[in-house]
Structure 1
Amino acid sequence: MLRIANTENGQVRGLPAADPRITSFKGIPFAAPPVGENRWRAPQPAENWEGVRDCFEFAPISVQDTPGLGDDIYCREWHVDPDIPMGEDCLYLNVWTNAKSANERKPVLVWFFGGAFQWGYTAEMEFDGERLARRDIVVVTVNYRLGALGFLCHPQLTKEQPDAPCNFGCLDQQAGLRWVRRNIANFGGDPDNITIAGQSAGGGSVMAQMACMDNEGDFKKVVVMSGMFGSPYTVNDFFLPQSVEQAEKKGERLFEYLGVKTLEEARKLDADYIRSKYSELRNNGEMFFTIVQDGHFCTQDPMAAFRNGTRIRVPVMAGNTGDEFIEYIHAADEDELSEKAEEYFGGRAEEFFSFPEARVRNDSGYSPISSPELGVKKAFLGDNGQNAPENCYYYRFISDIPGEDAPGTFHSVDLWFFFETLAKCSRPYEGRHYDLARQMCDYWANFIKTGDPNGFDINGNKLHEWKPYTDNERNEMLFTSDGAKASTEQSGFVRFLLDTMK
């Protein structure tokens, strides 16, 4: 087994994973610590080391609110350890490989975690890369800066470093990806067969990397999980880039809240002090959440780039869970509903009301519809209208999820299944759930290898055919309690909303 590997900065030693045929390397530096003068700068090259560096444990997580202190679903699900090491020195990545030598050229997955660009880390239980590595994939999970330390924008930064004034967390991801390109062959990976993938803000990160044309050639496929959004009712600004001017104003308010006037003073502050003060400001609505259109890393809206064909053109797998991010028409009664339908759909309002779903009402509003489902499908239809469209595969995760809290298919629950890490979860999953997880991981592995999810499962059985989603063939893959089921779009309501979305 490949327990020692070379990198551009020195040798690293890994450990056998739970399956000794897999080696895990944890805490490999891919950039210099972003501390002191490197705070709020693009990632700088890592320093060399002598001898063999033991890479046995995850590096400290990015500075963020302490995990595991609450009783929300995510603290119960995987943010379970309030004592997990945390620090500003956080630019490390992790590798799982089943290669026996450095010349095997296996397909590579590069994973960006989610968490609204405020929370999250590669050490989360569900991101264990072992099951994918068993399928002959080299798995890399990349850490990046978060919150005020990762996404600050300020006039003094713009003046001091105009080529990289902001978007530091995204630049960390890009640096991690480029490290993989330069080094992954030493771990048995193929630098010319890389897939980048992420979920939630990680999915938004993948969209941003795909819209950055400087990344052309650095990856061959992408997976976007719950990271594309659209609304037929209002402007949906999830991951919509801010202007530099908008973002700089937030940065100025943060400096004021921190009690500093200059960048030099801010770089001398304790990172935990910045974290605590930023958390207070964020809880009052001043959140560094979206990428900034800085003219360098980000030159365009990633969703628009997908729809109009100006993204890096590669095959895509994308989808959502059934119960996440539902959009509504907020109306007090049917009269107001009719007024808003006229506003949203104009001369097609009567057609809107021909669908029974239009008058469905619950405590949140009328006409519920999945924002990520519409976002993905609208993007896919845009790509399908281009010359030589890429294959785009849509999925929806709608399995039952056990537990006394009856959570439904909540945002992020599918991560346990795609990584096939259900055994680490405290929920009382049963055999059918494990069968579904195996199928989902198999489809994902096939896509990572070839850009096509079809083929055989890990046991050699042929998987149900999953066709691309196109204008002519609205194909879907449904991940249900009874396994993976190929389907076509059944809802005329969804088609109507896709047709009328601006």
Structure 2
Amino acid sequence: MTDAITSPAGLTPDEGERVEAAASAGTFIGRRDGSVAVWKGIRYAEAPVGPLRWRAPRPAPAAAEPVTALAFGNASPQELVPEMHLGEGVALSEDCLFLNVWSPSASLPSNSDPAPARPVMVWIHGGAYTYGAASQPVYDGAALASIGDVVIVTVNYRLGALGYLDLTSFATDTEQFDSNLALRDVLLALEWVRDNIAAFGGDPDAVTVFGESAGAGMITALLATPSAEGLFHRAIAESSPASSMYGPARSKLVAEHFLAEARMGEGPIGEVRSMPVSAIVEAATRVYSSVPSESPGLLAFAPVVDGDLLPEHPITVLHQGRGLPVPLIIGTNHDEATLFKFMKSPLMPITPAAITTMMQRLASENPDAVLPSREQLLGAYEGVRSRAVGLGIARDIGFRMPTVWLVEGHSTIAPTYLYRFDWATPMLRLIGMAAAHATELPYVWGNLDSNRRDYTFALGGRRTGEEISDRMTQWWTSFAATGTPGSEWPSYDADRASLVIDRTDRVEHDLDAGLRKGWGDAVLSFT
């Protein structure tokens, strides 16, 4: 492989300075933007269409001619929602397996002046396993790459039914299907990074995977995926729904539900490969909403504990300290569930009836676990207004407790850093969102102005927000470079240290003592 960057001549003034990265996958033409060079829309896999729909991804062949990589690739088909702007001019298509690279200009290697390789951070976006794209403005990697002197990679992968529907139980001699398609997409993207990132100034031996929400769920799944070993060396999981992954029995029920919604009837299963993609999205959207409405606490689409690629439930593996032994930052936000209430989303069980149904299901699916009594559980929420207790329970069963269960085990095999994001601007507190799910994202990325319609700072808090962003970008990129976020943030270890991120940060020991007492010793997951 030739690790070389050159600047082609003959550009028109509005195109700016372009740069070429010569890698084993081909030569890619990007653009230099100030102190950062960026390549967008690099194909890492063949289009997963036709006979490749619901099959494992295949690596894209090396490009014979230089590839212009100046625009984001397609996003995975999905129902468009106003709360999630995918980026200007971004199209939806099954042909969506693309990635993007931001690299500090000073890191770009050349034949005459080789530069030291920079740490690499690979982002897996969230969106309830159904929405989102790497092209979302908040994920623009220019600020993070420049501030942290790291190479940033963002990845598109298949979503919803196209990425998570498990049709393996319907396979025939002539029609084969693979499980965990989205997880396989991410693994293939990581293989691309391993084989090509040096041409963009990155160090393939210093790769950090990081993600939020469903992306963080993918991170915790990767930590329990044996074939992921060696593809990354550190991990960051922001608000991981780590317990919301299911086995083949439940995935088959979801598949049957999908086929019924798609009106497939008793026809040959192979007909699913000729369905219009719009029909797949429409059926998947109905399943996405109906599953958690009928079975509170469950998601329709998520990684599948298939006994193959993902042999065991990540919660079990990580709680027992058997995951990939890489350093880990993991945490949640103080008010995770308020976003779901604000959006009227069915994903989080907030009402007393939904919570009761969820707890009954957990009891039936975890027969060997001793679940807390109602009195014991409510004891964890003393002092919480009665109408907010449901939000607290939903937050903790969905995000905080799985994180606590996970760190208890992972901290025994690798340095582990736990946080809770508590900061909320006056406006977010006024409307009842506070430190809701995903509100940490602009601070992590250093992109406080990515959404022009955002009212987060309408009532103040901008200066504090900038200071928090400065700290978070430094912690995240320092971790990517060294495996530690800094001396002011101690690892979890025996004293259960947690960093509380707020206007003034603080380290607390056994921050979750009350929750652990209220929820008891049971480690719970849906199966």
1:390 aligned partner, one-letter code: A
1:473 aligned partner, one-letter code: D
Give the equivalent residue in structure 2 for 1:31.
Answer: 45
Give the equivalent residue in structure 2 for 1:240.
Answer: 245
Give the equivalent residue in structure 2 for 1:486.
Answer: 507
SS of the residue aligned with 2:258? helix
Q: Deviations over 1:49-75 (max 9, x none)?
A: 33321111111110000232xxxxxx1
Q: Deviations over 1:26-61 (max 9, x none)?
A: 000000001111111100121333332111111111
Q: Deviations over 1:72-107 (max 9, x none)?
A: xxx1xx527696311111000000001231653211
Task: State yes or no: 1:466 paired with 2:489.
Answer: yes
2:75 aligned partner, one-letter code: I
1:125, CA displacement in angstroms?
1.3
Change (3 A) 1:481 1:119: same
2:408 aligned partner, one-letter code: L
Whole-angstrom distance in 2 between the partners of 1:406 and 1:350: 27
Give the equivalent residue in structure 1 for 2:101.
Answer: 95
The correspondence of residues 76-475 of structure 1 with structure 2, limited to 5 A, is: 78-79=84-85, 84-98=90-104, 99-101=107-109, 103=114, 104-134=116-146, 135-155=148-168, 158-159=171-172, 165-228=178-241, 238-243=243-248, 245-260=249-264, 261-285=267-291, 288-325=300-337, 330=352, 344-345=371-372, 357-358=381-382, 360-365=384-389, 368=392, 370-371=395-396, 372-384=399-411, 386=412, 389-403=413-427, 405-425=431-451, 426-427=454-455, 428=457, 429-454=461-486, 465-470=488-493, 472-475=494-497
Would the aligned equivalents of 1:158 and 1:165 in 2 still touch at CA under 8 Å?
no
Whole-angstrom distance in 2 between the partners of 1:155 and 1:396: 38
RMSD, aligned α-carbons:
2.9
Whole-angstrom distance in 1 between the partners of 2:309 and 2:431: 42
2:491 aligned partner, one-letter code: P
1:376 aligned partner, one-letter code: T
What is the TM-score with the length of structure 2 in the denominator?
0.79
1:256, CA displacement in angstroms?
3.6
Structure 1 residues without counterparts, runs of 5 or longer: 69-74, 230-237, 333-342, 456-464
Whole-angstrom distance in 2 between the partners of 1:114 and 1:125: 13
Would the aligned equivalents of 1:109 and 1:137 in 2 still touch at CA under 8 Å?
yes
1:481, CA displacement in angstroms?
2.1
Whole-angstrom distance in 2 between the partners of 1:250 and 1:498: 29
Task: State yes or no: 1:63 paired with 2:77.
Answer: yes
SS of the residue aligned with 2:101? strand
1:313, CA displacement in angstroms?
1.0
1:359, CA displacement in angstroms?
6.4
Give the equivalent residue in structure 2 for 1:501.
Answer: 522
Would the aligned equivalents of 1:67 and 1:82 in 2 still touch at CA under 8 Å?
no
Aligned partner of 1:51 among 45, 61, 65: 65
What is the TM-score with the length of structure 1 in the denominator?
0.83
Change (3 A) 1:181 1:499: same
SS of the residue aligned with 1:44? coil
1:367, CA displacement in angstroms?
9.9
Q: Deviations over 1:428-456 (max 9, x none)?
A: 2511110110101100111011110006x
Would the aligned equivalents of 1:109 and 1:139 in 2 still touch at CA under 8 Å?
yes
1:8 aligned partner, one-letter code: S
Would the aligned equivalents of 2:73 and 2:90 in 1 still touch at CA under 8 Å?
no
SS of the residue aligned with 2:449? helix
